[in-house]
């Protein structure tokens, strides 16, 4: 029996339990949530990770965990459990660090959710199988993963710059970057097999880096 294949389920269960507890436990939320002031002023760096075990509501939790469930098997089969964990938590961390950089002058900025890690797993799966068909919520039909990736990254950059909603687009972008780069690190062969698709998806991330550099 391959115990590693159950690692994603363990993350889903732990995240579900902690999130449901956090729905009604404000003290738990306050201790674990991503808070710019608490991280930079009080050096509570653990919040970059612990905030991924919280969610704002049932819809937020279910959507993230369903996405993680659907794409985790691809990564576990390709890389094994330990590298799966590296991709997931490195994506959570990179998403948190990018959020920290973007909102570094907003000490009261708060964020929660596993989206950075989930998006990292999603983009790692797209890098491995770029032509896999992905369905969009509330939109009929499916599109290739690489096209979904481009549209998703473009929308995330727009959302981060417009700041017109409560979605943590910066965490999504950090997670996507980590997922793509770690997949290339763990499986360099994807560059020769799917280099064009991966390159196209990296372009929006380069644009993001340039925008952040100019803004800083």
Please indicate, yes or no, whether the overall pTM of this predicted structure exceeds 0.85. yes
Q: What is the DSSP letter of 142?
A: E
The CA distance from 95 to 34, in Å, is 11
Q: What is the mean pLDDT of the chain?
A: 92
Per DSSP, the three-state class of 166 is: coil
Q: What is the pLDDT of residue 216?
A: 64
Q: What is the pLDDT of residue 137?
A: 65
> For 207, how many CA atoms within 13 A lie in the half-sphere containing its CB?
16
Angle, CA of 76, 14 and 88, to the nearest 5°: 35
Token pair, residue 200, equals 């196209």
Instruction: Kindly state which CATH superfamily the domain 3-215 is placed in.
Output: Rhomboid-like (1.20.1540.10)
Angle, CA of 207, 213 and 169, to the nearest 5°: 60
Q: Please choose, from the candidates 72, 127, 116, the residue with its C-alpha nearest in 3D space to the C-alpha of residue 91.
A: 116
Asked if the model's pLDDT at residue 88 lies above 60, the reply is: yes
Q: What is the pLDDT of residues 111-133, one digit of tens each?
A: 999 999 999 999 999 999 999 99
Backbone φ, ψ for residue 122 (5° rounding): -60, -45
- Please name every residue paired with 143 in a beta bridge, in sequence order, or none if there are none: 134
Burial (CB count <10 Å: 0-12, 13-18, 19+), residue 210 = exposed
Task: Compute the average pLDDT of residues 30-59.
Answer: 96
| CA distances to 82, 110, 174, 177, 207 from 88, in Å | 10, 21, 12, 12, 24
Task: Compute the average pLDDT of residues 80-106.
Answer: 96
Task: Compute the average pLDDT of residues 165-183.
Answer: 92
Q: Please choose, from the candidates 186, 152, 145, the residue with its C-alpha nearest in 3D space to the C-alpha of residue 172.
A: 152
Asked if the model's pLDDT at residue 139 lies above 90, the reply is: no
175 contacts 119 by C-beta, under 8 angstroms: yes
Query: Domain locations in the chain?
Result: 3-215
């Amino acid at each position: 029996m391959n115990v590693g294949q159950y690692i994603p389920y363990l993350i889903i269960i732990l995240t579900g339990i902690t999130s449901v507890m956090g729905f009604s436990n404000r003290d738990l939320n306050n201790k674990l949530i991503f808070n710019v002031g608490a991280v930079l002023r009080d050096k509570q760096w653990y919040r970059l990770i612990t905030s991924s075990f919280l969610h704002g509501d049932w819809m937020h939790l279910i959507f993230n965990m369903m996405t993680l469930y659907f794409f985790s098997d691809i990564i576990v089969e390709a890389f094994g459990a330990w590298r799966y964990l590296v991709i997931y938590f490195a994506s959570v961390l990179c998403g948190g660090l990018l959020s920290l950089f973007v909102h570094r002058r907003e000490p009261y900025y708060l964020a929660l959710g596993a989206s950075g890690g989930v998006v990292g797993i999603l983009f790692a799966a797209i890098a491995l199988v770029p032509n896999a068909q992905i369905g969009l919520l509330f939109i009929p039909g499916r599109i290739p993963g690489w096209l979904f990736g481009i549209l998703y990254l473009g929308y995330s950059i727009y959302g981060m710059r417009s700041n017109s909603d409560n979605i943590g687009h910066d965490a999504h972008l950090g997670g996507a970057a980590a997922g793509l780069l770690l997949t290339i690190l763990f499986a360099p062969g994807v560059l020769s097999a799917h280099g064009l698709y991966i390159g196209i998806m990296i372009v929006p991330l380069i644009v993001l880096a340039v925008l952040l550099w100019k803004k800083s």
